[in-house]
């Protein structure tokens, strides 16, 4: 019987604590009647059930005294229920207000974070724009420097090319002059040689003729007509020789004129080559300018 009464009392205790926990102040509103033992002595209330220690009395002493406890729970009155419900509603409203305040705080924090994110995004965009501008400036500076270097190299190459062409012209002129001089000297030597040979042959023929004439005069006293005819034949032979010499002189003059014409043609060809090379250099210089203009437009 003692065990059963203890179990019953513990079950009632649990039920009272659950109701008190749900109601906030249910423990204060519950009326727990004073209980007595079986023999009607030593009344026992809720002193040991809701004591500060919260410990039940010793079971052995309880068994010795044969005391049986019974807790009677009365229903909660209506005014207590109303106070409990009011308290619950107040707590709910307070919680709702607190939650709304927390939501407002979170929303304000979220807006602050969004503004910070927008500012950071703007800063990043500005940095990217400044970076692109810096890269474009560096690119344009490098292109201008490259164009400047290319123009300087082109001018240096043009000057070197002109110097080389001038040296070649001087060399070719000197070679042509030497060739012309050598050709003129050779022709003059040949002409002098021919003249000397012709003079020698004329002198030999004149000596032979004079010997023959003296022999003829000594041997035969021919008529003056025959002597005049012989002299006329000698004159006719001397005239064709002078004509041949004049022809050779004319041929040498033609060779000299031809060499001069070849020299003029060589100079003209050199000038044409220089003009073509200058055009090619100007075209090569205009190409990087066009590339830079197209890159700037892009």
pLDDT digits (tens, 9 = 90+) for 63-73: 555 544 545 55
Res 51 pLDDT > 60: no
Take residue 235 and report the two structure tokens written for it. 């004159």
The chain-wide mean pLDDT, for the chain, equals 70
3-state class of 70 per DSSP?
A: coil
If you ran DSSP here, which 8-state letter would residue 31 be given? -
pLDDT at 86: 87
What pTM was computed for the model?
0.29
**Gap between the terminal Cα atoms of the chain:** 104
**Phi, psi at residue 32, to the nearest 5°?**
-100, 115
Q: What is the pLDDT of residues 92-123, one digit of tens each?
A: 889 899 999 999 999 999 999 999 999 999 99
For the stretch 164-217, pLDDT in tens is 888 888 888 888 888 878 887 887 788 778 777 777 777 777 677 667 666 666
Q: Distance of CA 221 to CAs 68, 102, 217, 226, Å?
A: 216, 170, 6, 10
The reported pLDDT for the residue numbered 195 is 73
Tens digits of per-residue pLDDT, 221-254?
555 555 555 555 555 555 566 677 777 777 777 7
Which of 68-72, 151-155, 281-285 has the highest average model confidence (pLDDT)? 151-155
Residues 262, 265, 268: CA angle, nearest 5 degrees: 155
Q: For residues 153-185, b (16+ Cβ closer than 10 Å) or e, as one string?
A: eeeeeeeeeeeeeeeeeeeeeeebeeebeeeee
Is the pLDDT assigned to residue 138 strictly greater than 90?
A: yes
Give SS3 for 39. coil
Query: Would you tell me the crossing angle of helices 78-219 and 224-297 to the nearest 10 degrees?
Result: 180
List the domain boundaries for the chain. Answer: 1-76, 136-221+254-297
187 φ/ψ angles, rounded to the nearest 5 degrees: -65, -40
pLDDT band for 23, please (50, 70, 90 cuts): very low
């Amino acid at each position: 019987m003692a065990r059963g009464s203890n179990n019953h009392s513990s079950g009632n205790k649990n039920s009272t604590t659950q109701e008190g926990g749900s109601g906030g102040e249910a423990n204060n509103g519950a009326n727990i009647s004073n209980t007595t033992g079986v023999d009607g002595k030593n009344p026992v209330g809720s002193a040991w059930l809701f004591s500060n220690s919260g410990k039940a009395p010793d079971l052995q002493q309880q068994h010795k005294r044969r005391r049986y406890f019974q807790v009677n729970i009365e229903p909660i009155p209506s005014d207590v229920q109303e106070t409990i419900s009011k308290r619950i509603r107040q707590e709910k409203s307070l919680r709702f207000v607190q939650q709304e305040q927390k939501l407002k705080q979170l929303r304000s924090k979220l807006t602050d974070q969004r503004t910070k994110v927008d500012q950071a995004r703007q800063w990043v965009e500005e940095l990217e724009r400044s970076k692109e501008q810096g890269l474009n400036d560096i690119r344009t500076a490098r292109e201008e420097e490259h164009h400047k270097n290319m123009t300087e190299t082109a001018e240096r190459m043009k000057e070197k090319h002109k110097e080389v062409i001038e040296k070649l012209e001087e060399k070719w002129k000197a070679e042509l002059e030497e060739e012309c001089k050598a050709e003129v000297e050779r022709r003059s030597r040949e002409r002098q040689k021919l003249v000397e040979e012709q003079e020698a042959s004329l002198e030999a023929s004149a000596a032979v003729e004079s010997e023959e004439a003296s022999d003829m005069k000594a041997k035969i006293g021919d008529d003056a007509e025959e002597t005049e005819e012989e002299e006329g034949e000698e004159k006719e032979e001397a005239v064709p020789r002078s004509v041949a010499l004049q022809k050779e002189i004319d041929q040498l003059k033609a060779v000299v004129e031809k060499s001069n014409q070849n020299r003029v043609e060589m100079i003209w060809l050199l000038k044409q080559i220089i003009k073509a090379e200058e055009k090619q250099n100007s075209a090569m210089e205009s190409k990087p300018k066009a590339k830079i203009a197209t890159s700037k437009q892009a």
